[in-house]
Structures are given as C-alpha cells and as structure tokens.
Amino acid sequence: MEILESIKIAIESIRSNVLRSLLTIAIISIGIAALVGMLAAIDGILYSLSDNFNKMGANSFSITANDGLQNHRRGVAQKREENINFDQASSFKEKYNPSGAKVSISTWCSSKATITYGDKKTNPTTYVDGVDENYLLTSSFEIDQGRSFSHAEVYSSSPKIILGYNIVDKLFDGKAERAVGKYVSLDGRKYLVVGTLMKKGSGSGDSNDKRVLIPLINAKIIYGYSDKVYRINVVTNDVKMISQDIDQAIGTMRVVRKLKAFQENNFEIKKSDGILEKMKDMTSTLRLSTIVIAMLTLLGASIGLMNIMLVTVTERTREIGIRKALGATSNNILIQFLTEAVVICLIGGVIGIILGIALGLVVTLSMNGHFVIPWLWILLGITVCILVGIISGLYPSLKAAKLDPIASLRYE
C-alpha cells in the first residue's frame, strides 16, 4: 500500500471521528506551542541580551597597569608598576590593529567640575573625562543628539564638549536638541557642545549621567600631570575572537612597555564577558525546564492518542478482516494505523508550531527582544510529533496487524 493512499485513508478516518481526533490534536498543539513558543522567546531574548551586552562591554576588554598595591614575592617588596602614560597608550593604539577592533584612549580629569550656561549651572559634582574619537565605540555610552569628536578635534586640543543626560536636563530643561551648537562654560573655560549622551543610569557608585566628555589632548593640556593615568579600551568585531585579540594585545603591550622575554607582564587585561556567559547558563536551564514541561504535556497527548487508536482498532475490526481477505498483509495494516497516528500528531504539531511562533513573537516583543524565526525548534517540534505518533500508535497498530481475518469478519 502506497504511503499517499495510507495518508488519504488516515484523513478519512480522522474526519469520521472528528471530536475524538480534535481533542487529541488540541492537546498536541498545546504541548508543541509551549515547546516552540517558549524556546523561540528564550532565543530571541538571549539574542537581544547578547547584542546589548556587546554594547555594554561583553565583547571588549581594558588594559591597565597592575594595581597600585605593593607586590610581595618571597617576602621581598617589589617595585610598584608604572601607570600607562599617554605615550604608551598612543603607541599601543598605533601598533594594535586586528581586523575590526577599535582602540580608545581616555583619562579621568575631574569629579568636582561645574558646568555653566547663561544663568544656570550644575552642582560642583560633574565628572569630566578626556576621550578620543573611538571612546563611544568602546564604551556603553551612546549619542542622543549631535555627534562624537572627530580625529582632528581630539588631537588639536579643540574646545568641544559632549554633555551627559543630567547636564542637559539641568542646563537645557532636558531638550538635547537645544544644547547642540551652544557654548557652555566648564570651570570657567568655554566649550562648544557638539553632542549629548543618552540616559544611562547610575553605576559603580556614581551617576554616569553627571558626566561630560572633552577631547583627549585638551584634557591632557588642562588636567595633565606627570604621572597621569590613561585607560585603554578595546572592542572586538566578533565576541568569539576576543581570546585571540587579547593574546595579540598582550604581545603589543609588552613591546610598548619594553618588557624582555623573561619578564612578567606589568599590566592587566580585564574583560567583561562573564555576565553573558552566566545568562547563557541560566537560559540553558530554562530551556531544559521548558522542554520537560512540554514533554509532560505531550505524554498526556500520547496516552490520549493511544486510547483513541485502540478504540479505532476495535471499531474497525470488521474492516481489517475485509482488507486482509482482499489481500492486505499484516505489514499493510501496521503501516496504515501507524500513518493515522502520525498524521494526527503532525496536524497538531503544525497548529502548535504556528501558535508557538506567535507566542514567541508576542513574548519577545513585549520584552523588547529581537525575534528570530526558530528553525531549529520548528524541526524539533516536527520530530517530536513524529516520535509521539509512532510510539502512541505502535501498540494499537501491532494489535490490528495481528488480528485473525476470519475472526475479524465475524466481529459484530
């Protein structure tokens, strides 16, 4: 018996027992919808989190001198490591050039600055950082209005400034578009506002929104001193390549710091990908929980389907006898009833997949995630449906195949 004919007979059987079939299909649909929908939502949310964490530093690392504490080896106090100065930072930026990576140099200037515009001024608690043209690419700050500094502005000591969210709120009533192009005073020095930062929120014990950025060379001239510390941040093009990029950064920094082969590194590499890894571990557990819950639902559906198939075999005993009398083999009967079980499961699976995609889309969008069509989970859903159909229909099919044709013909 050809498979297409088996499917056609299976559909006719489903139509003749609509209510029972629909109940089983509904249960299977719910299980598959839960499986596909939640797994799709988890993937969409994780994708968005990964993208956000990349912006926050998951695909970045920083280079700093070893901490300022005295190192003690074998009871002997070691020399404090020198800070990374401007020349070393600039040399690293020039020499380090893996594909797609961006290097920024920045330095802390003040945490007690006052910004003035007209008759308005901030409290003397504004943070000032000197940055280069790549700083916004390697940090979690984003431009709201205006632009970042150009290379020429950074290295010509140009009096330009980028204002944080709280500064704009204080001086320009929160209207960032009004701030761009205006002159403000930073501790008595005039600066042209070229951009404003989006709201970020507090972190590390201070408010990142009470911050202004000025060009690096301008900061060096005004706030510089002999042992001033410069920070180096690197953002990679691909988070998967961060280990290779770090290895290259270590080699470049050893050259910049003029370390000999036998000397240990006198600087530290700090990366920020731990949060994303923990999030992936958490979502793996959530995925497993979702699969277990969906499988329990499908277990109930499989029991219901097996019961329906057993009833069907009983109701169609005389039909089975007629088929065998006309030449159908036990194998033909087995395949026919297995096909009916699988078809019921696939119909429920298709409906469940459609509902699951819709569910995943709604959940992902409600959490501001990025929805991705879950091809892997769709394939998993179809595979599970086929397995449930085979497992649930195997015993009833074997029972039907073993029926004696003469006894079946006499069955009333």
Digit-by-digit pLDDT tens for the chain (412 residues) are 567 777 777 777 777 777 777 877 888 888 888 888 878 887 777 776 666 555 555 578 888 887 544 444 444 444 456 789 999 999 999 999 887 788 999 999 999 999 999 999 999 999 999 999 999 988 878 899 999 999 999 988 889 999 999 999 999 998 999 999 999 999 999 999 999 999 875 444 456 889 999 999 999 999 987 778 899 999 887 767 778 888 999 999 999 998 888 888 888 888 765 555 666 666 677 778 777 877 777 777 778 778 877 887 777 778 778 877 877 788 888 888 888 888 888 888 899 889 888 888 887 777 666 777 778 878 888 888 888 888 888 888 888 888 777 766 665 5
Is the overall model pTM greater than 0.75, yes or no?
no
By the 8 A CB rule, do 235 and 102 touch? Answer: yes
In order of 129, 193, 305, 308, 349, the CA distances from 27 in angstroms are: 60, 62, 10, 13, 10
The candidate with the shortest Cα–Cα distance to 180, out of 158, 132, 148, is 148
Q: How far apart are CA 70 and CA 27, in angstroms?
A: 67
Are 308 and 28 contacting, i.e. CB atoms less than 8 angstroms apart? no
Q: What is the pLDDT of residue 390?
A: 87
- What percentage of the chain exceeds 90 in pLDDT? 28
Q: For the segment 345-390, what is each residue's pLDDT rounded down to a tens digit?
A: 888 889 988 988 888 888 777 766 677 777 887 888 888 888 888 8
Token duo for residue 388: 């449930």
DSSP for residue 142: -
DSSP strand pairing (126-131 vs 102-113): antiparallel
Cα–Cα distance for residue pair 17/146, rounded to 1 Å: 67
Q: What is the distance between the alpha carbons of residues 192 and 161, in angstroms, rounded to a whole number?
A: 6
